[in-house]
Amino acid sequence: MLARQSAGSANVLPAAHSIGAAATASATISQTHVLTWDAFDLGGGANTPVTPALAAPWLSWLMIGSANSGEYHAVGIQTMYYTQPNRQGPGGPEYSSDESTFAHTCAGNGTADRIKTTNYGLYLMDPGSAELGDLWQQEALTVRNSWGGQFDAIYEDLTDTIYYTNGTPCDFTQSAWSNESNSLSTYITSQGFQLIYNGLAALAPGYSMSPTIAMNASTTGGMFEGCYTTNGDPWLLHNNTWITTEDTEIQMADAGKLFFCRGLDTNSAESSAAARLYQYASFLLTYRRHTSVYSTSFATADLFNELPETELVPTDPVQAYPSTVSALLQTSGVYGRQFSACYIAGVLVGPCAVAINESTNASLPFPWPGVYPHTIALSGADIPAGGTISALGPAPPSQVPSLSGVIAIQ
């Protein structure tokens, strides 16, 4: 059973120390978790970690193969289908003998001047090709009309960048490539699908925001893989990369687009409470309830990645929503944000705050000493396997260690 603090037992400080309107907030809300995302069954088989009935209370979005899409769609989970029209190899659904679908250098030697990726050996495709658009559209229609897939959205991997390739397309400019990529989107959206792109983590030189964010012009939202946690040492994003991730989350929210925050730390969920708090606190720092979507890769025994921290839903931020994360830098040197009313599984637990020390240098003072008597405490792994969240953890530390996050409860 989840360890939850009821509204009636919330520890509220005297009015002189109170940060906001928790006393007048609703005791419950209908949203029992932040928006979430997971992936099952991508090979088209039956690798579904939990049943639709078990997944439905915790999962908002699911990427899944066509065979099992209907049963998850039927319980209210929004489903998406994986595609990769921008990188193709023999046997791929967008691979054909039509040379116009491939990107080429300016050498003018046809097939010999195709551009290959340097990681998987696939060919870079030309988003300006109408023939490529037709092939991509046919893939989506086949999945829906012939295979019986029930999907709300198509997921487009490796969108709108030419990174990790062995050449540059002839007469390439990023703006023209983005315009062509947005035109390619219409082959999918014209068929009634939403489109979710992947590529927000492909940062430009100097840790600048990914050019892929231009895809907001034609899509429902985008994914940032390696969002606050990565799949290798160092596991936690920090310094400039962390800052750019936060600013990307803000810009996606400002545009009214879904931001899929996909953490890639694959260590055991049960033994990674500190990393989980770092990722979730970083996510909450700039999140908006109706556009920010949370996902992790922490390992669980049942392969289900919905963790109990997602049941904490902060509302009513005290500070105005920032235009950049720098506005949330506190005088103590940590980044922080306070919320007047916070809920666990839809039940009010009081005001809360997040504080993140993303630096690698030293511990920094917690910015609100004496205001918050408790912190969020996590135990176990995913929710169906008995993972828990409690609002009665110990008091916040006086010093926030480097590369750590604190979620405090009043």
Angle formed by the axes of helices 130-141 and 174-189, nearest 10°: 30
pLDDT on residue 64: 94
Contact between residue 225 and residue 264 where contact means Cβ atoms under 8 Å apart: yes
Confidence of residue 14 (pLDDT cuts 50, 70, 90): very low
**C-alpha to C-alpha distances, 106 to 1, 64, 86, 165, 172, nearest whole angstrom:** 63, 39, 19, 15, 10
Pairing label, strands 153-156, 194-198: parallel
pLDDT on residue 20: 54
Longest Cα separation, the chain: 77
**What is the tens place of the pLDDT at every residue in 271-287?**
999 999 999 999 999 99
CA distance 182 to 18: 48
pLDDT on residue 48: 78
SS3 204: strand
**C-alpha to C-alpha distances, 83 to 91, 190, 229, 234, 263, nearest whole angstrom:** 13, 16, 24, 30, 20
Contact between residue 373 and residue 13 where contact means Cβ atoms under 8 Å apart: yes
Beta strands in 53-186 (DSSP E): 61-63, 78-83, 87-88, 123-124, 153-156
**What is the tens place of the pLDDT at every residue in 296-335?**
999 999 889 999 999 999 999 999 999 999 999 999 999 9
Contact between residue 27 and residue 341 where contact means Cβ atoms under 8 Å apart: no
Confidence of residue 24 (pLDDT cuts 50, 70, 90): confident
Output the CA torsion 285→265→79→36 (10° steps): -30
Contact between residue 313 and residue 33 where contact means Cβ atoms under 8 Å apart: yes
**What is the tens place of the pLDDT at every residue in 146-161?**
999 999 999 999 999 9
Concatenate the DSSP letters of all residues of 351-371 into one string.
EEEEEEE--SS--EE-SSTTT
Mean predicted lDDT score pLDDT of the chain: 92
